[in-house]
Every structure is written in structure tokens, then in C-alpha cells.
Amino acid sequence: MYLQRYHTIPTIGARSVCAFEIEDVAYLAVSRKTQNISNTVSNTIGDNSDACCVIYRYKDDWFHKHQELEITGSESANFFTINGRNFLAVANKWAGDKGHSYNQHSIIFEWVNGRFARFQSFPTFAARKWYYFEVEGRSFLALAQGIRPHKDFKPCHPSRSMIFEWKDGNFVEFQELLLSEEGYDWSSFDMNGKHFLAYADGFANSLVLL
């Protein structure tokens, strides 16, 4: 038995899909790094990176466009819930037409009255991945970001990968990964009664944090 195509979502430069449910309704967040420039051959380097992240809602056996988020050049999105509140953190890698800039703002959106509204914004540099995890009742949000040193890509925003903690209704800085260079991904796990956080870096050493 093989998987069959069920639904086609027209995209160019899609980087990731985040599936989630709110009040028993299924949604997809499709992050798009680029959109095609008219009359050009599509490629993720030459295209216009001012492409929004799109939310699709499942209804009548189909996924329909529900909302376009006010963010461009997104690499990924991560959905999570804190105290009954629903959030979507979107990592914004770059923006611009050909002359891409990695100094952008990555944004956390909150679900309000059936749509996502901007909740908190962070200055980031080549952001790739938000990752939510909990430890002993505390809520954390890790950000993988950065690119290897290059004369044409100079960070004006913080460029190290970061970890933020939920405090008094907002995320605040908890820890900076001083040895990070080009963050890509995170994963957390428990083993022998201890909690670990694994971090993947494309240029420096990857880490396992305790």
C-alpha cells in the first residue's frame, strides 16, 4: 500500500510545514523562504524572499487558505500552547529582492478570535528554527540562527543561537550559546531522570546540553 496524493498546495520556496489543531480544527502553517520573481527561473537564491507564511484551515475535506502572516522569508514555524493560550513562533531567515538581508525580526503570534495576531518580536540574524520545550513546569523557546562568517553578511542583530524562558507573560532571554555559529535545529529528550537539549550547528560543533 502506498500513500496517495490528497491535496496540492501551490507554493514556491516552501521550507517547512507545521501541522496543529485548535479547538478540534486542523491547520497547516507553510513557511516560505522565497517567491518567484516574474519572468525569471525560480531558485532560492535569486528569487524575492519577501514571501509570507501562510495558514491553511481544514474544512469540507480540504485545506483552504485561512491567513497570511505578516512576516517574510520564513524558514520554519513551531506551534505550542501555554496555559491554554495558543502560539505560533515563526523564524524569519531573510528578506529582500536578490539583495537579501539576514538581519530581520522573527515573530511569535498568538491565536486571538480565530486568527493569529502579533504577540512578540525578536531581532534575529538568519533565523532557522524555533523549538518549544518544557522542563519541570517551566516553558522555554529555543532559537537556532546565524551563518558562518562572511564579509557580505554582517550581523547587526544578535547572531548566536538563543534560549528564552516564559516569564510574567512574555519570553525573556535565558541563555546565549556562545559556541554557536550556524544554528539549524533542536531536540529535547529525557534519559535516566535527566533532561537534555540537543543542538545542531552547520558550522561549529553540535551540542548536547544538560
Who wins on pLDDT, 8 or 196? 196
Q: Cα–Cα distance between 200 and 45 in angstroms, integer?
A: 23
The CA distance from 21 to 199, in Å, is 27
Residues 103-126: what's their mean pLDDT? 95
Q: Is the pLDDT of residue 48 over 90?
A: no
Other C-beta atoms closer than 10 Å to the C-beta of 79 total 19
Do 179 and 163 touch, CB atoms closer than 8 A? no
Question: Residue 38 pLDDT more than 50?
Answer: no
Between residues 79 and 179, the one the model is more confident about: 79
Nine-digit cell string for 77: 514555524
Domains and CATH numbers, the chain: 76-209 (2.115.10.20)
* pLDDT beyond 50 at 134: yes
DSSP 207: E
Residue whose C-alpha cell is 529555543: 142
| Amino acid in position 114 | G
- For the cut 90, the answer to whether the pLDDT of residue 147 exceeds it is no
pTM: predicted TM-score of the whole model, two decimal places: 0.88
Which of 50-55's residues contact partners 24+ apart within 8 Å by CB, and which partners?
50/95, 50/96, 50/97, 51/12, 51/13, 53/29, 53/77, 53/90, 54/29, 54/30, 55/27, 55/28, 55/29, 55/30, 55/116
- What span, in angstroms and rounded, lies between the C-alpha atoms of 122 and 109? 12
- Give pLDDT, residue 10: 84
pLDDT at 35: 54
Inform me whether the pLDDT recorded for 149 exceeds 90: no
Specify the pLDDT at position 187: 97
